[in-house]
């Protein structure tokens, strides 16, 4: 994503080409930083408060300094107004700070939206399943696995995406042992049987997606029942349609799973309706 603007705690707006982190910031050394990715519609960050709450929760779980919500709001405002584009991606970062002490770095970065999202939405994604080999209920009782924490330790997630691309697909879906569906590397996962929408439960240690919460509300208004739980991959494979949700990609249809068509192999009506509802909720 092309960086359009950057605001840094105690410094304000900074040229995005300038270096920001010390080499011994644990964010770099060990991936100890919390972050958030927020979609900006018409110059307004969507659900910023929900993202700030999650950032604060991630910071606590990672043992970082508290995230100062007011500082992040102000960094976000500065970066968004400097970006010069109305529809962008805002990312917020809070690092652990330098190894031998020193303040964490706080920054807000605004980037252009990734290209081709609408083409992908129109054709739908092909996904592969990616086993993690974890018991489905382990992350809930093993805090060191950082289930539900949005930290910059995303190398495994990126490797799963790369593996999907290597196999000619677009993305991956993580599964726990027993083939229990968890989430995508950067998305929550959904599927539909008749009027019922299924999505993995937060108790599985998946990220509590802000978009997921928005869609749970929107789905009820559209007459869908939503069931959260521990569901096997075979249940997803037999669905009439499937999609993922995330702030950046919004509602993204899934049309193929492990090289087999999902539903009729085309984007489905619930994904379309929910995408429209999400855009309506986000309309400035």
Ligand X SMILES: Cc1ncc(COP(=O)(O)O)c(C=O)c1O
The residues of the shown chain that bind ligand X, judged by CB under 6 A, are 37, 183, 186-188, 207, 209-212, 245-247
Query: Least distance from C-beta 269 to ligand X, angstroms?
Result: 21
User: CB burial class (10 A; 0-12, 13-18, 19+) of residue 146?
Assistant: middle
Residue 140, classed as helix, strand or coil, is helix
Query: Least distance from C-beta 200 to ligand X, angstroms?
Result: 10
Residues 6+ apart with CB under 8 A from 88: 4, 40, 80, 110, 111, 112, 113
Q: Which is nearer to ligand X, 98 or 108 (CB)?
A: 108
Query: Least distance from C-beta 13 to ligand X, angstroms?
Result: 25
Q: Which is nearer to ligand X, 156 or 266 (CB)?
A: 156
Length reported for the chain: 284
- The upper half-sphere exposure of residue 17, i.e. CA atoms within 13 Å in the direction of its Cβ, equals 0
d(CA 200, CA 209): 11
Q: Which is nearer to ligand X, 98 or 172 (CB)?
A: 172
Q: Which is nearer to ligand X, 107 or 186 (CB)?
A: 186
Pairing of strands 12-14, 3-8: antiparallel
Read off φ and ψ for residue 208, nearest 5 degrees: -80, 85
Q: Which is nearer to ligand X, 139 or 224 (CB)?
A: 139
Query: Least distance from C-beta 19 to ligand X, angstroms?
Result: 26
Query: Least distance from C-beta 84 to ligand X, angstroms?
Result: 24
């Amino acid at each position: 994503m092309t960086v359009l603007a950057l605001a840094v705690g105690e410094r304000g707006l900074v040229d995005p080409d300038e270096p920001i982190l010390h080499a011994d910031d644990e964010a770099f050394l060990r991936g100890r930083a919390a972050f958030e990715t927020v979609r900006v519609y018409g110059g307004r960050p969507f659900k910023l408060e929900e993202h700030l709450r999650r950032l604060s929760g991630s910071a606590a779980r990672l043992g970082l300094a508290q995230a100062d919500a007011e500082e992040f709001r102000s960094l976000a405002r500065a970066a968004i107004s400097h970006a010069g584009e109305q529809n962008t991606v805002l990312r917020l970062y809070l690092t652990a700070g330098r190894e031998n002490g020193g303040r964490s770095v706080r920054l807000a970065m605004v980037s252009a939206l990734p290209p081709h999202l609408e083409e992908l939405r129109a054709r739908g994604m092909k996904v592969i399943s990616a086993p993690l080999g974890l018991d489905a209920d382990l992350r809930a009782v093993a805090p060191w696995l950082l289930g539900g924490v949005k930290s910059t330790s995303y190398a495994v997630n990126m490797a799963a995406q790369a593996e999907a691309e290597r196999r000619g697909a677009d993305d991956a879906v993580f599964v726990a042992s027993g083939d229990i569906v968890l989430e995508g590397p950067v998305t929550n996962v959904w599927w539909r049987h008749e009027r019922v929408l299924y999505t993995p439960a937060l108790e599985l240690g998946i990220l509590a997606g802000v978009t997921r919460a928005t869609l749970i509300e929107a789905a009820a208004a559209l007459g869908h029942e939503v069931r959260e739980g521990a569901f096997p991959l075979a249940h997803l494979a037999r669905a009439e349609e499937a999609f993922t949700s995330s702030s950046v990609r919004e509602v993204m249809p899934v049309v193929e799973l492990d090289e087999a068509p999902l539903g009729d192999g085309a984007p489905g009506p619930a994904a379309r309706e929910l995408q429209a509802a999400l855009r309506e909720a986000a309309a400035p």
